[in-house]
Structure 1
């Protein structure tokens, strides 16, 4: 197993979301790795938890990364959040991510969950699965 590519995957996902024009039209620059202090915008995207399991094979070390991207809104309905969640899904669907370490074998949408949170927030958690091969093992 190799966890060494996790930071590289996170940076690539963040860069892809930041660079996506349709998503930017919906949320502006409100795409976060960590929420800023103070007031957050009424609609934003945040990188969430990750679970990694071993997925090496005969060609070398690898890992299966399951990660969450959340869309959160203070709007009274889910419509704006669903539009932004769709844009996140479209951005990550083709898996054209450039990693600083490792190689992306595949990136797949797994599931989504829309919930009402305390304080009137609406939240959509999108779960993706990425298979990575470590091309630079130590």
Structure 2
């Protein structure tokens, strides 16, 4: 097990999301690791926190990564933001991510939470996913 796979996984997820045609139609290139300063788009996606746990056995070295992807919007209501969140889920579940090291054995949706952000002008959906990577 190595935490080195975390950055590799994040890079692959980011590339997969920015290359998804449905997400492009919904948010354009507004997918961020770090939110830029200045004026933000009305709706955007951020890559969020992660927990990584060793899951090695006698036959392989593996790591389980639980990570969050969030959708943020200033739009009224939850319909539009849920459409973006659904497109993220569709894009990632069982996606054939290309990793520069290791191999992805599973990528699954765990849960989501839709809420108003603390300033109540924004809405946010947090999506939790789980990936298992074998370190070949």
Q: Which bin holds the TM-score, normalised by the shorter protein?
A: over 0.9
Q: Deviations over 1:84-137 (max 9, x none)?
A: 0010000001221001111101000000000101231000000000000111xx
Q: Secondary structure at the match of 1:101?
A: coil
The equivalent of 1:77 in structure 2 is 77
1:32-47 superposed matches below 5 A: 32-47=32-47
Q: Normalised by the size of structure 2, how large is the TM-score?
A: 0.96
Q: Which runs of 5+ in 2 are unaligned?
A: none
Cα offset, 1:79, TM superposition: 1.1
1:32-71 superposed matches below 5 A: 32-71=32-71
The equivalent of 2:115 in structure 1 is 115
Distance in 2, Cα, partners of 1:48 & 1:83:
19
Q: Secondary structure at the match of 1:84?
A: helix
Distance in 2, Cα, partners of 1:100 & 1:36:
27
Q: Secondary structure at the match of 2:4?
A: coil
Deviating above 6 A after TM superposition, structure 1's stretches of 4 or more consecutive aligned residues are none
1:124 aligns with 2:122: no
The equivalent of 1:18 in structure 2 is 18
Distance in 2, Cα, partners of 1:96 & 1:113:
25
Q: Deviations over 1:44-101 (max 9, x none)?
A: 0110000011111112321000000000001111111100001000000122100111
**How many pairs were matched up?**
135
1:104 aligns with 2:104: yes
